Structure 1
Amino acid sequence: MDNLLEHFVTLWVVIDPIGTIPVFITVTAGLEAAARRRTALLASLISAGVLLFFLIFGQLLIEALDIGLNSFQVAGGIILFLFALTMIFGESKQEIERRQAEEDRGDKMHQHNPAIFPLAVPSLASPGAMLAIVILTDNHRFSAADQGITAMVMLVVIAIAFVLMLLAEPIIRLIGHSGAAIISRVMGMILASVAVNSVLSALLEIMKTGQL
């Protein structure tokens, strides 16, 4: 029971369903309600699939490629920092309207799906979440049954994130797009600080231990 609670808290922190709300509001600001619901569902399914992949194959992949956890953390921090910059500066109203017009015309050749990036990866299935799921299902320490329980806990957290993204719609109606833009920029600053802290922590660990 203690391990179950520990795993839930760990996965809650690294997946961060609450922190996904301003990201969801930002990337779906120009979408209709039905499209936002589809985006939330797709992001949840993709992030669950990515984390399940790392649960099953992550340890084997990292060991086979001889990738150090600190190196993975540095790379993840850089990616999160770059995404934080997009949250801080954001798209102008004209850019959002142009993107929506292109989608309405069916011109999707150069469009990316926000459900995949940035919602599924790296917001929900962040590098930290990928590492956490590998550590919490270490093949040398946990049985298949324990790993199955951890997988269920992870899916519960993803389900909560999906519900919170659905609740983002009334939040948008309450605060408006201007309020959403303000929240996005504030959260972008916080996310940038978290990303920098992640990189610096990994670099300090590399300097102390000499291990990548």
Structure 2
Amino acid sequence: MSFNFKEIATASMVLFAVIDILGSVPVIIGLRNKVGHIQSEKASIVAAFIMVAFLFVGERILSLIGIDVNSFAVAGAFIIFFLAIEMILGISLYKDDAPESASVVPIAFPLIAGAGTLTSILSLRAEYAVQNIVVAIIVNIIFVYLVLKSSRRIGNLLGRIGLGVIRKIFGVILLAIAVKLFATNINQLL
């Protein structure tokens, strides 16, 4: 088992962009104002468990239904592409109902460990070593926890415009990742 810093850094950036916890600060603040306390520790631990479990079991689930990792990675490239379009253009292609409580369900899933994150994890698995992806997940969960704990301060510090700029920058990064992921895996399908 050897750790590769480049793989860890790249996987961390991909997950950071997909999770988009800084872009979610307005949603988190809205939840906090609506329901009061957010359980940052519980949400972070549950999200980490979901991501790591999907990293190890996700491929088996796919093989049960006859889908290979490369096909899933190409599908993931499309999901990441649409997430990037949402971030860059400031539109919402998918709108979920507002939750009534800020428990594990709206924060850990789907806000942190949503469809885009899980798709990205399996897509990363097609290219990187598992131990490097686990480290990237841990790095992101630590960051997510810190953001959840200090979301109100971050929102005040960056303001609406600052959060919007960060969201658009990570949208462009995600778009480039989607193109690379598609190009890498489509060749193996054809």
TM-score, reference length from structure 2: 0.66
Equivalent in the alignment of 2:24:
24
CA 1:58–1:32: 2 relative to 1, 3 Å = closer
Matched, 1:113 2:113: no
Equivalent in the alignment of 1:185:
168
Shift of 1:75: 1.0
SS at match of 2:156: helix
CA 1:5–1:197: 2 relative to 1, 3 Å = closer
Shift of 1:68: 1.9
Shift of 1:59: 3.7
Equivalent in the alignment of 2:119:
127
Shift of 1:169: 3.5
Task: Give 2:2's aligned amino acid.
Answer: N
Equivalent in the alignment of 1:3:
2
Shift of 1:176: 0.9
Cα displacement string for residues 161-212 of structure 1 (whole angstroms, at most 9, x for unaligned residues): 3334234443321121122122222322332232233223322333xxx3xx
Task: Give 1:196's aligned amino acid.
Answer: V
Cα pair 1:48 1:155 within 8 Å, conserved: yes
Gaps of 5+ in 2: none
Cα pair 1:26 1:181 within 8 Å, conserved: no
CA 1:44–1:69: 2 relative to 1, 3 Å = same
Matched, 1:69 2:52: no
Size of the aligned set, in residue pairs, is 180
SS at match of 2:67: coil
Distance 2:171 2:161 in 1: 15
Q: Which has the larger radius of gyration?
A: 1
Task: Give 1:3's aligned amino acid.
Answer: S
Shift of 1:14: 4.5
CA 1:40–1:129: 2 relative to 1, 3 Å = farther
Shift of 1:82: 1.7
The alignment yields a C-alpha RMSD, in angstroms, of 4.1
Distance 1:69 1:158 in 2: 23
Distance 1:179 1:46 in 2: 29
Shift of 1:38: 2.3
Matches of residues 20-99 of structure 1 in structure 2 within 5 Å? 20-28=20-28, 30-32=30-32, 38=38, 41=41, 43-90=43-90
Runs of 4+ residues deviating >4 angstroms:
4-11, 33-37, 39-43, 131-137
Matched, 1:173 2:156: yes
Cα pair 1:18 1:164 within 8 Å, conserved: no
